[in-house]
Amino acid sequence: MKAVILCGGKGTRIRGTVADSPKPLLEIAGRPLVHRLMDHFSMSNYKSFVLCLGHRGSEIREYFDGAEIPDDWDIELVDTGEETMTGGRLWQVRDLVGEQFFMCYGDALSNVDISSLVEFHNSHGKLATLTTVNPRSAYGLLDLDEAGGVLAFREKDVQREQWINAGFFVMNKAVFEYLNEDEQLILERQPLENLATASELMAFRHAGFWQSMETYRDWLDLSERFKVNS
C-alpha cells in the first residue's frame, strides 16, 4: 500500500512565523514534519509514498534530493499544481496507487496505530475510512451554576462529545468514482459527503496523540513533544 501525502498547501496561517519554508518542511525537533510523518508509516512497514506537491514544491524536491532516506523507501514526487485543492490533487495521482492506499495531510502528526487502522478498514468493507479524534477547545472553559457562578476552570479541555476529521485515511481505489478532474474539487466537501450519504465512509476512533500544525503555538507544542520523545 502506498501513502499519498498532500503537501501542496500554502500554510497561510503559519507562513513566516517559524521559518521561510513550505509547511511540510518545517522542522520538528530537527527533522521536517513530512519526514517524521513518513517515519511513522515506515514503522508499520509501509514505505511507499506519493507526495502531492504544489506551493513551493521545488523546495520539497530539493530536500528529498539531498536528504538521507532509507534505502527501502520508495518516493514519488508529483507536481499537482500551485492552486489545486485537495480533491484535485488526489485525482491527479489516481494511476499511481493500487487497489487500496493511504491518504493523509502533510501538516499533522499522530501516533495512530496504522496496522489497526488497516484492520478496521478491511473489517467493514466500505470504500473509505477516516481517522477521527476528539478536538481540544481553543479556549479555556468555565463550568457555571444556574445563577452564573463560576464552579471550575478547564484549560483547553478535550471535547469528548465531538469528533473531527484527523486525516489518516485508508481508501479503496473505487473512491475515484466520487472524484473528478476539477482542480478546485475539495475532498472534504462533496466527495466525502457523497461517500457518507452512500454509506461508504467509516470513522476509526483514535484516542491517542494527534496534532495538526496550523499556528506557531502548534509548532512549539510539536517540537517540544518530539524533542522529549527523541
Q: Looking at the 3D structure of the chain, how many domains does it have?
A: 1
Specify the 3-state DSSP secondary structure of 209. Answer: coil
Report the phi/psi class of residue 167: left, alpha or beta, with left for phi > 0 and alpha for psi in -120 to 50.
left
Predicted local confidence at residue 57, as pLDDT:
93
Strands of the chain (E only): list them.
2-7, 27-28, 31-32, 48-53, 74-79, 100-105, 108-110, 128-133, 141-144, 150-154, 164-165, 169-172, 201-205, 210-212
The 10s digit of each residue's pLDDT in 91-128 is: 999 999 999 999 999 999 999 999 999 999 999 999 99
Provide the whole-model pTM.
Answer: 0.87
In the predicted structure, residue 11 carries a pLDDT above the cut 80: no
Interior angle at CA 211, CA 44 and CA 100, nearest 5: 40
The three cell numbers of residue 50 are 506519493
Predicted local confidence at residue 48, as pLDDT:
98
Predicted local confidence at residue 17, as pLDDT:
61
In the predicted structure, residue 157 carries a pLDDT above the cut 60: no
Average pLDDT, the chain: 89
Predicted local confidence at residue 10, as pLDDT:
73
The three cell numbers of residue 118 are 488497516
CATH of the domain at 67: 3.90.550.10
Predicted local confidence at residue 44, as pLDDT:
96
Which residue segment(s) compose the domain that 14 sits in? 2-229
Distances (CA, A) of 40 to 36, 162, 215: 6, 26, 22
The 10s digit of each residue's pLDDT in 38-72 is: 999 999 999 999 999 998 999 999 999 988 999 99
